[in-house]
Every structure is written in C-alpha cells, then in structure tokens.
Amino acid sequence: MMRLFFALELDKNTRDHLIKLMNRLRLSIQRGKWTRPENLHLTLVFIGDCDAQRVPDLREIAKAAAEPFSPFCLQLENWGTFGKNSDILWVGISENVTLINLVADLRYLLRQAGFFVDERSYRPHITLARMTRLAEPITKIKPDDFATCSMISELTLMESVREKSILTYRPCFRQPFLSDPDQ
Ligand code: 2AM
C-alpha cells in the first residue's frame, strides 16, 4: 500500500519566503510541530492508501487532467488555522480559477476511476505547522508578506512515507501542464 496525494511543488523562492515567514511566526507560537521546509507543498487532492498497481491509472488521470492547462502562477495570501483546536496553521492561496478547475477535473477523473475523493469544498492551503498554540493573535503579518508568486508548470503524485520515523514526501511522477499559453 502507498499513501498518495496529488500536489503542487513550490519553487525555491517560494519555499525560502515561507521559511522566513515561519521563522517570524515562531515568535508568536508557544509550541507547534513545524513542517520541514522540504515538505512544504500545496495539496490538490488527497488519495490516501492505495495499491501500487493503481499508479499507472493515476498517471493517466494526471495526464488527462493536466493536458488542458498551461503553467500558471500561485499567489500566496493570508493565513489561518484549521481544526477543532484551531491548531493547524496554514497560508492560503489567492483566488485562482485555474487551480479550482484543475482540482475539480482531478476529483472528477479520480471518482470516475473508482477512487474515493473528499466531497468537501477545496480550501487551498499550505500547512506551516500542526499542534500549535498561539501565544498571541498573529496580527503582525502584512499583505506584503505574501507577495511571492510561484510559477507552477507541473503537478506531482506524492507518496507520504516515514523514513526513520521522519515524515517525508517522495515524488512518484510529475506531469507537466501541456497547453500552450500563447495559443
Ligand atoms: P494538511 O496539510 O491540511 O494536513 C499529505 O497528508 C497532504 O494531504 C497534506 O497536505 C494534507 O493536508 C493533505 N490531506 C488532505 N486530506 C487528508 C487526509 N484525510 N489525511 C491526511 N492528509 C490529508
């Protein structure tokens, strides 16, 4: 069994930017389990436990989903918390029709192929930390802090594994967005 999800990987610039933000947020957070910098990503669709034999099907799905899209930009925006205890700290993504359509297409194709997919509406976010406790409201973050725009040219099927008990995301394959933006 493999634990899988479709994701967008972030370029170094964006990750460096998020690392700086995390370092600043550490000052307002009493405790938390921070995402390792190399694990920072944007989930498109979580698939969960899956037989390795189904990876070729996922390759076909990724290809069909990515084909109509051109590379696009991601704009970070805002932050928030999820969870019963509001203890998952994340950074959000500006309204992005391409992203929403891409996720809708992936979900549709996955369901058609018999995969179980979350019915809840998609809330794009990059998890920065879990199990946090905020020492004070994080009000010091300004819109400028989210100015980074990352160019996304492919989607990735990621495997979530524990390597020596460290949570690690390992790319299974990458599928480029194939449509020519000038056409
Ligand atoms: P999260 O960061 O909000 O936890 C790998 O676990 C990725 O898939 C994470 O980005 C995680 O989002 C996302 N994901 C979505 N639904 C999930 C679920 N039911 N269980 C675990 N991870 C999930």
- Out of 3, 43, 79, 155, give the residue to mutate to test ligand 1, the one with the largest number of ligand atoms within 8 Å of its CB: 43
Residue nearest to atom 2 of ligand 1 (CA): 127
Distance CA 175, CA 183 (A): 20
Ligand 1 lined by 127 (C-beta under 6 Å)? yes
Residue 173: predicted pLDDT: 98
**140 pLDDT tier (thresholds 50, 70, 90):** low
pLDDT value, residue 87: 84
Q: Which of 84, 102, 105, 85 is nearest to 93 (CA)?
A: 102
Query: What pLDDT is recorded for position 50?
Result: 96
Q: What are the backbone angles phi and psi of residue 117, rounded to the nearest 5°?
A: -130, 140
Give me ligand 1 centre to Cα 180, in Å: 31
pLDDT for residue 89 is more than 60:
yes
Is pLDDT of 155 > 90? yes
- Kindly list the structural domains of the chain, giving each domain's residue range(s) and its CATH number in brackets, ordered by start: 2-176 (3.90.1140.10)
Ligand 1 close to Cβ of residue 169 (< 6 A): no
Our measurement of the distance from residue 102's CA atom to the centroid of its chain's CA atoms, rounded to an integer in Å, reads 13
Mean pLDDT, the chain, rounded, equals 90
Q: How far apart are CA 28 and CA 30, in angstroms?
A: 7
CB atoms under 10 Å from CB of 136, counted, come to 10
Lowest mean pLDDT among 75-79, 120-124, 125-129: 75-79
